[in-house]
């Protein structure tokens, strides 16, 4: 994705991301049967506490799910995004996971979107992300750095298929100062 390298740790990607589902069987049917991710490890948690399953999402990275016997219900807008970003405000609470983006090849992007539609999955419009004021271009152009569309899993977890259109990490790609908790831009 870019030429910058981590000089502190040899991080080789994501080992796994662990999310929580309300129905492990339904989750397996969606991630294995609709998205095609092989189920590679299943664990029954001790003392009847639940289950922990792992799906291969490519590049030796896994997407894992817990099913806890005593977990509370989803809270859209708090624990997860309340809908697709072309339809609603997708703001979520601090410490939540807003969405999970899967890297897909640009040349298969449209095909993959159609496959999900054909499988009955509701998908957002295609969003061509650029550096314009609203960060989405009305049509594809050379300034678009990633093409994406969004969809949700059976528990409402917001997912994205994203395809990079160019290398990232140019000086103009890292030109915004972060804000602190009070909303002030800070040079770090």
Per-residue pLDDT, 184: 85
How confident is the model at residue 109, as a pLDDT?
95
Domains of the chain: 1-72 (3.10.180.10), 76-175 (3.30.720.110)
The 10s digit of each residue's pLDDT in 138-171 is 999 999 999 999 999 999 999 999 999 998 888 8
17 bridge partner residues: 63
pLDDT tens profile 108-129: 999 999 999 999 999 999 999 9
Q: What is the pLDDT of residue 170?
A: 84
pLDDT band at 54 (very low <50, low <70, confident <90, very high): very high
- Nearest Cα neighbor of 15 from 44, 54, 67, 66 is 54
DSSP 38: P
What's the Cα-to-Cα distance from 138 to each of 104, 106, 142, 154, 155, rounded to whole Å?
A: 21, 18, 13, 30, 30
pTM of the model: 0.88
Q: What share of the chain is helix, strand, coil (3-state, %, to 5)?
A: 15, 30, 55
Distance between CA atoms of 123 and 63, rounded to whole angstroms? Answer: 20
The answer on pLDDT for 2 being more than 80 is no
Cα 104 to Cα 95: distance, rounded to the nearest angstrom: 26
Strand partners, 44: 51
Question: Among residues 122, 110, 50, which one has the least CA distance to residue 85?
Answer: 122
> Which is more confident, 44 or 94?
44
- Give the pLDDT score at 3: 58
> Tokens 């979520």 sit at which residue?
92
Please provide residue 48's backbone torsions phi and psi, each rounded to the nearest 5 degrees. 65, 20
Q: What is the mean pLDDT of the chain?
A: 91
> Which tens digits make up the pLDDT trace of 3-32?
567 888 888 888 899 999 999 999 999 999
pLDDT value at 78 more than 80: yes
How confident is the model at residue 1, as a pLDDT? 59
């Amino acid at each position: 994705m870019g030429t910058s390298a981590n000089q502190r740790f040899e991080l080789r990607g994501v080992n796994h991301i662990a999310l929580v589902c309300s129905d492990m069987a339904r989750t397996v049917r969606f991630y294995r049967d609709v998205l095609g991710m092989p189920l590679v490890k299943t664990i029954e948690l001790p003392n009847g506490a639940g289950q922990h399953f792992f799906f291969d999402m490519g590049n030796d990275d896994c997407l894992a799910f817990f099913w806890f016997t005593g977990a509370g219900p989803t809270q859209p807008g708090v624990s997860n995004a309340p809908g697709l970003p072309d339809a609603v405000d997708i703001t979520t609470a601090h410490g939540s996971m807003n969405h999970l983006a899967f890297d897909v090849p640009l040349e298969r992007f449209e095909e993959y979107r159609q496959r999900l539609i054909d499988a009955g999955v509701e998908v957002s419009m295609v969003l061509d992300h650029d550096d314009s004021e609203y960060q989405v271009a009305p049509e594809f152009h050379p300034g678009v750095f990633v093409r994406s569309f969004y969809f949700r899993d059976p528990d409402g977890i917001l997912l994205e298929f994203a395809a990079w259109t160019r290398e990232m990490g140019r000086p103009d790609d890292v030109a915004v100062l972060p804000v602190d908790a009070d909303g002030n831009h800070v040079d770090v």
